[in-house]
Structures are given as C-alpha cells and as structure tokens.
Chain A
C-alpha cells in the first residue's frame, strides 16, 4: 500500500499540495482528477521522491528509496525515455535494472499499439511516444503503476481498446493511479475516483457506490467542484451583448 500522510508541498510560496492524506491499496484502479495545476503531477512526483515535500509517504510501510522504488512505475506525458534509443534497447535497459520486467507484456503491447521496435523514440509521433510510456510502465513489473495524462495524442479508438486490454492484463496485486482529464472515458474502468483541487483532496469515492446511488462520476465531480451549470449561457449572453 502507498500511504501519504499530511503531505504538503509549496513552490516559491504557492501551495501545490496542502496536507494531503491518501492511501492506495494493492489491486485498485484509481482515477486522479483535477483541473490543470490542481496538484496531480506534484502528488505523483512526491510519491516517486522526485521532489521534496513535508509529511510522510510510505510504500508497503517503508519510505520510498532505491531499495523499493522498483515497485513503482511511472508513465508521464512529459516522457521519460531516451529519445535516441529504440524500443528494443529500452527493453534491454529495463530488463537490466528491473528483474521483474515482463517481456510478454512488452511485446504484446508493442504489437497491440503497432509500434516499431527498431526505430529511435524521437521519430515516434506524440501519441506513439505516450503509448510507449504506458507500455514501459506496465511492463516494468511494478506493483504500483502511476500514469500522468498518458493518453494525450491518442485517438478515441486506441484509448478505448487500450482500457479493455489494460483491464484484461492487470494482475490482482497491481495498482494503477491514473491522472487524466478524460473522466467519462475512464469512468467505466476505474474502481475509485480521487478528486484534487488547489492541492487538497476534495473527493474520494468508490465508483460502484456512486453507481448504486444512481450518480454518474461526471455529475459527482461537477457537484464536488461546484460546477456552475449556467456558466456557458452567461458567457454567451455577455459575449453576444458585447458584439451587439
């Protein structure tokens, strides 16, 4: 289990994470939602130890160090591969460092996304680069898979097929923390939704419970964020008046 206790992070006076407490048990698929700048990426980078923070983050009861960091993988839209290297050489590099690396997943997903093995990553399209990030995160053999906006640049068909494949291949002990804006798309495949707003956790809900209550995930998120339904009509009215 990944556990965050009272985690706070500020960038030059601006609070990015404000006293965040959160647990991510094994075997869950968790959606992490929030507006741009809400703190989703900061939260993931804190878990990975990329940035300093106040508070405590543990992985199966231990602080995240080189001793246990291989239990976490990370797919990011910023990309974390070596642009000059091809996919096959990335596989070699991962296998060298992560003994749990799964060749079966790697080749299976490379074929699913129809990605070339011998071309340098820099020649991939943005969508292909994101796909490759996801492939490596899933193939590493980690127990906790963090994905930060992994589907940017991918068409809807690719994404939908990928969700199905993901659900099919995940082992019961694997946890996915998925940060995305594509709420409606992922609502059918996540088990839990965590909402973050201005660095604070403002919602943490079981998607099945929502369904039982007859509330959709998007409605729950709109309620939590105090979404103003009249926002569009007001804007149109103002804009139309201006033009008139």
Chain B
C-alpha cells in the first residue's frame, strides 16, 4: 500500500505542503458545517413557544427552507475539491522547475506514469471532498426532514436545494 502511494508521487516532490492543505481545508470545511448545526437548532427552537416550563409546538410556525439554512455552509468542501485539482497543475509544473524532468518522465516505458504521479492523488483528494459534501448534504437533509415537526415543514424541500444551487 505504501509503495502504491509512493508510486503516485513525483520523485522529490514535496507532498507535505499538499497534505497540509488537504488537512487544513478538511478542518475548515468541517468547522463550517457546525454553522449549519447552529442555524438548524436555532430555527427549530423558534418553532416552539414556552408555556411556563413546557415547550409547546406552534403549529402555525413554518420552518425555514432547508436550502436557506444550509446556505454556503458546505461550499468549503467543493472549494477544497477545486483547490486539490489545482495541485494537478502544480505537479505538472514541478516537472519543468529547475530542470526538465518531464523529459525523463516522457521516456519511461510504463504507460500513464505521468498521469498517475501527477493526477491520481489530487483527484482522489478532490473526490474525498466531493463525497464529504454529498454525504453531509444527505445527512443534513435527512436530519432536517426527520427532526422537523411535519406541521412546520413546507413541501418541495429537495427540489428547492437545486433551485438555489443551480
């Protein structure tokens, strides 16, 4: 496994910088998700009135749309995916820095060597961010639909996400 990973990195390429970017972007993107949690729980609490010490659902209250609560909070993952794709260019550029190691790479008998060493890891990193975005989108939507009282839900929540995003 370690060898396979090593075979996807250009010789002498400083992968640490790319790795650090991945980790930092993952932490920042994850942190932005907490904003959604805060927005959702605040909006949900507003559906209830306090009758003394008892919490009573206001059946006339409407929950804000999922798309509005979500806002930009998951964008970090998609931006990070884009940044990881930039690393493909950085890696190709590395083959032209100080020397023309691209000449050596192009002389290698193994097919797809340049693509493997320049693209596979950044593409995998980008895919991880996109998958995180998708999983969290589905998870947040499921929580929204399950935890929000039916009386306060407005219809067409799923389609509203794409109306806003696309």
A85 proximal to B (CB < 8 A):
yes
A67 interface neighbour in B14, B99, B100, B109, Cβ under 8 Å: B109
Q: Which A residue's beta carbon lies closest to that of B13? A: A84
Q: Which of B76-135 contact A (CB under 8 A)?
A: 97-104, 106-111, 113
B-side interface mostly: loop
Docked pose: A80 CA to B102 CA in angstroms? 7
Interface centre among A48, A79, A89 (most CB of B within 10 A): A79
Interface size class of B (residues with CB under 8 A): 20 to 34
Map CB proximity to A onto B9-27 as digits: 1 under 8 Å, 0 otherwise. Answer: 0111110000000000000
Rounded to whole Å, the gap between the CB of B135 and the closest CB of chain A is 37
- Looking at the complex, which of A13-21, A53-61, A70-78, A222-230 is the stretch in contact with chain B? A70-78
Docked pose: A120 CA to B13 CA in angstroms? 12
Quick check: A83 and B103 within 8 Å, CB to CB? no
Q: Which A residue's beta carbon lies closest to that of B113? A: A97
A79 interface neighbour in B11, B99, B109, Cβ under 8 Å: B99
How many Cβ-Cβ contacts under 8 Å join chain A to chain B? 69
Rounded to whole Å, the gap between the CB of B104 and the closest CB of chain A is 4
A76 interface neighbour in B14, B103, B110, B113, Cβ under 8 Å: B103
Quick check: B109 and A97 within 8 Å, CB to CB? yes
Rounded to whole Å, the gap between the CB of B106 and the closest CB of chain A is 6
Rounded to whole Å, the gap between the CB of B13 and the closest CB of chain A is 7
Q: Which of B22-65 contact A (CB under 8 A)?
A: none
Docked pose: A122 CA to B107 CA in angstroms? 21
A82 proximal to B (CB < 8 A):
yes
Quick check: B12 and A80 within 8 Å, CB to CB? no
Docked pose: A225 CA to B86 CA in angstroms? 50
**Chain B positions near chain A (C-beta within 8 angstroms):** 10-14, 97-104, 106-111, 113
**Chain A positions near chain B (C-beta within 8 angstroms):** 48-50, 66-67, 69-70, 72-74, 76, 78-85, 89-90, 93, 97-98, 120-122, 129
